[in-house]
Structure 1
Amino acid sequence: MSDNIQPYDGSEYPVDHVRVFQTTARVYNWDTATQCHMFKHTLRGAARIWFEHLPRESISSFQELRDAFLESFLGIKRHNDRDKKIHCAKKGRNESIEDFTRRFLTESRRAKKMPEAAKVIKFMKKMSDPELIKQLYWEAPESIDEVVKITKAYCGAEEVVKNLRQWI
């Protein structure tokens, strides 16, 4: 993979990512199958989750993949300005994961027009605990309710570990 293609995680402008990728594909003279295969390797985080959840055999050309990608991530981008309350949500330094999750859930419920995928991405981007982020990426939640369930399980496990360490 060319060094000029930065990994895309859903936080940047998707059109720019596609342009850089297509330029690289032209330079290397990749056919459609190679483009689709290589595009997957430029995606990280939420964008990779999106790619992995595409229905089997639903894409037959890079143009279809590009259009589906732009439709998904431009749609998410469009909602950023419309739902400022959730956009401003950030885990505070001294705020517990549980408190942040409750606050984020309250704010996300107000953002009725925002797609569930966008809410999931926003939560992952605003969370500062690297182990929880890893767990969320591993389990690939599709709704904010699934995120809350995974987060509660993670916090419960952390509490058990903390209590065990006190006895050792």
Structure 2
Amino acid sequence: MIQLTQEALLALIHDASTRAAAQAMAQFAAQHPINPPPPSPCRSRKLSPEEEEQRQEEVNSRVSRPEVAQTQEHPFSTAILAEALPASVKVSNLSEYDGTGDPQEHLDKFYAKIDWYDLSDAAYCKVFRTTLSKRALAWFNQLPAGTISSLEQLTQRFLHHFSMNKRVPKTAAFLFTIRQRENEPLRDYMQRFVEAVHEVPHVNHELLASIIQQNLSPGRFKESIAGKPPSTMENLLMRSQKYIRIEESNASDPFLGVKRKGREEEKEQKRKRT
């Protein structure tokens, strides 16, 4: 009987366990083959500039899809967000509203522009939003998500929010403040007065004659109105042209102006004597 030392016995046990482990691994590999992953197309070759551009466009199109935008909190309803502007429509030259002017005036200008286009209500909503800037745009962006579903709803909220900026029509009392200044030419004054009249709707013509008679500096035109009040604004302007020409003629020829002034003073003295 062969007797092994302790060291030899341990060596035999180690060799046997190593061979058994190697056989087990070989058997597992045969039963479960590992297939290498197919080569990636991106790694197989470098993309051409045209292919790279096409790939970038595909990425951009996925990012800009309506369903992506709808996941964000937007004041427009999903129906409005889902509808895109026709590619053939180019709306330009629209005035902007920054939140400081008259909202009704901005809305009137907007309607005057879009009347030329045949768009859907959703498209008009998107176009109107592009006209807002600064404070007005900040107001729109803070509206609750999905609460705007029509152009009428949007414009009504717009007018209500900026109603404090709406220009209030002036009354006839405003016209009494438009007085002729000292040494102000009649032409300049009439221009100022007419501009002021346009700010006052529905002015009574009889009241208008009384106002301008009171506001004019002493002179022949004022006397003419007092003697025969103008019946219309057109009549007032037409009669003023005569006295504007006389005044400008006197200014261009001082000697002629002195002669006319002397004749007027002489007539006035005769009138007083009689």
When the two structures are superposed, what TM-score results if normalisation uses the length of structure 2? 0.30
Greater percentage in helix: 1
* Structure index of larger Rg: 2
Task: Choose between structure 1 and 2 for higher RCO, CA contacts under 8 A separated by at least 6 residues.
Answer: 1
